[in-house]
Amino acid sequence: MSAPQFPSAPTPGPVAPVPGPVGPRPGPTVQGGTPSAGSPSGAVEAAGGTPSPTPSVAAAVELLQGIEARPVTEHVEIFADVHARLQRALTEIDNPDR
């Protein structure tokens, strides 16, 4: 009885390019720092056309400043606090009457 014959493994060839991540979508722009038609409530676009965060979002993100200098054991608590603040900010934007 002879050993079974298996086809040889394919020879590796050039690797096909993999599409990269999709970039951010451009939004409406307004010059002069006025609210734009498509911006969330409270978001203002700066003169360069980049939306500036609402005060509550800016305050939450500011808590991340200097986190690299804090002990890693404190990071989870800081991230949880920032996450909760950002969730509240989204709720305020989606439901301004609350």
**Among 3-12, 29-38, 78-87, the range of highest mean pLDDT:** 78-87
Would you say residue 24 has pLDDT above 60? Answer: no
Domain that holds residue 77: 54-94
In 3D space, the residue among 64, 65, 67, 43 whose CA is nearest the CA of residue 55 turns out to be: 43
In a domain, 80, yes or no: yes
Structural domain total, the chain: 1
Beta-bridged to residue 45, according to DSSP, are 51
Residues 13-33 have a mean pLDDT of 55
- Measure the CA–CA gap between 33 and 98, rounded to whole angstroms: 26
Q: Given this model, what pLDDT does residue 26 score?
A: 53
Whether 10 is covered by a domain: the verdict is no
> Would you state the pLDDT for residue 33?
46
Q: Is residue 85 part of a domain?
A: yes
Q: In this structure, is residue 68 part of a structural domain?
A: yes
Residue 8 falls inside a structural domain: no
| Within-domain flag for 34 | no
Asked if residue 4 is part of any domain, the answer here is no
Residue 43 has pLDDT above 70, yes or no: no
Provide the whole-model pTM: 0.48
State pLDDT tens for residues 60-78. Answer: 999 999 999 999 999 999 9
Contact indicator for 42, 18 with CB cutoff of 8 Å: no
Rounded to 10 degrees, the C-alpha dihedral 80/82/87/90 comes to -170
Extract the tokens encoding 40.
């969330």
